[in-house]
């Protein structure tokens, strides 16, 4: 056996083992640290990528398109469209010109539609949720039935309403004219001024179950002892609702009204499925108006400018709403 072999078989001093093990415990391996710390971000990565591809990237492209004269002549290569700056925005807000007048009319229609739909949806949903708090036979069945409009696919539900609003053989005219005799003759619900009311009815039918679900869930967190104590003190039903129920629902209502407003103001599926590509003038919502300005006239630059203006309007209204509703709120209400 050589001297080299003898040396290699000699174990290292015990102090070296202790030092190495202590260093290993104090300094974990870098890959393990990165793997543990980066796992949450890795799990969020697919959602972030999809959000980027589905929302952020198209939004950025639309903003760029709003500054270009993108018409049907540049569809094959829209990057060759001339840069027009703020020209599309000036045309859209020129309310003395036909394009600006049509956009302003569509804006007014959308505001009225949104106020009616959101207000009545919140009122019906909140009232129904409060009534469903009482324990009675069949309450579970009614709760399930009330959520059916929210669970149904939007296109299937709107198409069903379109058949119900038919002039000759629709269920609405059959009930109002043939059965109840409220109207002198069958009404046209999908054209003319009545189209606005048909649109509001369908929107409320779709939205109020969501308000009902949100408020009903919030009511579960209100202690029943508060109502019992108020009842002992002589508070009636209206006073209990005013002093206990509505203040307790303030935070939920703030989010609920904002979500309903954004959904309703941007609603495209309801008018498009109910009326087709050309909505009546009385039901010309701004979403369908922007679609027609873009795809019917092939002026995508003008349509993109209208979309950007709509985005800015919604951002301003949302910020103002949040600031207004946050005034006077206690830290415990958040």
Instruction: Measure the CA–CA gap between 182 and 28, rounded to whole angstroms.
Output: 80
pLDDT of the residue at 287? 92
pLDDT digit string (tens) for the chain, length 334 residues? 444 444 445 555 544 454 454 544 554 555 565 566 677 788 888 888 888 888 888 889 889 989 988 888 887 887 788 888 899 999 999 999 999 999 999 999 999 999 999 999 999 999 999 888 877 888 888 888 888 888 888 889 999 999 999 988 889 998 988 888 888 888 899 988 899 999 999 999 999 999 999 999 898 888 888 888 888 878 778 888 888 888 888 889 999 999 999 999 999 999 999 998 888 999 999 999 999 888 888 889 999 999 999 999 999 999 999 898 887 565 545 4
Instruction: Measure the CA–CA gap between 84 and 81, rounded to whole angstroms.
Output: 9
CA distances from 64 to 150, 236, 266, 292 (A): 36, 59, 21, 20
pLDDT of the residue at 18? 46
Instruction: Measure the CA–CA gap between 202 and 116, rounded to whole angstroms.
Output: 12
Instruction: Measure the CA–CA gap between 289 and 105, rounded to whole angstroms.
Output: 10
Instruction: Measure the CA–CA gap between 36 and 57, rounded to whole angstroms.
Output: 30
Q: Quickly list H helices, the chain.
A: 3-8, 14-26, 30-51, 57-65, 87-92, 98-131, 139-146, 148-151, 154-164, 171-173, 194-219, 224-232, 237-240, 246-248, 250-265, 269-275, 286-291, 300-326
């Amino acid at each position: 056996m050589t001297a080299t072999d003898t040396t290699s078989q000699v174990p290292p001093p015990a102090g070296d083992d202790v030092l190495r093990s202590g260093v290993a415990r104090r300094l974990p391996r870098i890959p393990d640290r990165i793997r543990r710390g980066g796992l949450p971000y890795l799990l969020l990565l697919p959602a972030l990528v999809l959000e980027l591809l589905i929302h952020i990237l198209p939004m950025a492209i639309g903003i760029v398109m709003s500054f270009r004269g993108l018409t049907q002549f540049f569809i094959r290569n829209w990057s060759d469209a001339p840069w027009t700056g703020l020209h599309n925005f000036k045309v859209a807000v020129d309310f003395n010109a036909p394009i600006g007048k049509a956009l302003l009319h569509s804006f007014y229609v959308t505001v009225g539609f949104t106020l009616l739909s959101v207000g009545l949806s919140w009122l019906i949903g909140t009232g129904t949720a409060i009534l469903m708090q009482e324990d009675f036979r069949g309450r579970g069945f009614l709760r399930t039935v009330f959520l059916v409009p929210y669970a149904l696919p939007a296109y299937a539900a709107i198409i069903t309403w379109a058949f119900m609003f038919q002039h000759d053989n629709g269920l609405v005219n059959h009930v109002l004219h043939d059965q109840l005799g409220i109207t002198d003759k069958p009404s046209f619900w999908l054209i003319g001024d009545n189209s606005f009311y048909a649109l509001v009815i369908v929107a409320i039918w779709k939205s109020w179950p969501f308000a009902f679900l949100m408020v009903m869930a919030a009511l579960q967190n209100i202690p029943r002892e508060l109502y019992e104590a108020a009842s002992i003190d002589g508070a009636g039903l209206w006073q209990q609702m005013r002093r206990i129920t509505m203040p307790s629902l303030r935070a939920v209502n703030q989010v609920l009204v904002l979500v309903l407003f954004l959904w309703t103001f941007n609603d495209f599926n309801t008018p498009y499925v109910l009326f087709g590509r050309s909505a009546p003038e009385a039901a010309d919502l701004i979403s369908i108006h922007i679609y027609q300005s873009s795809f019917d006239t092939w002026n995508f630059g003008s349509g993109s400018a209208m979309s950007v203006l709509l985005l800015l309007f919604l951002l301003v209204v949302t910020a103002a709403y949040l600031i207004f509703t946050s005034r006077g709120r206690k830290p415990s209400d958040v």
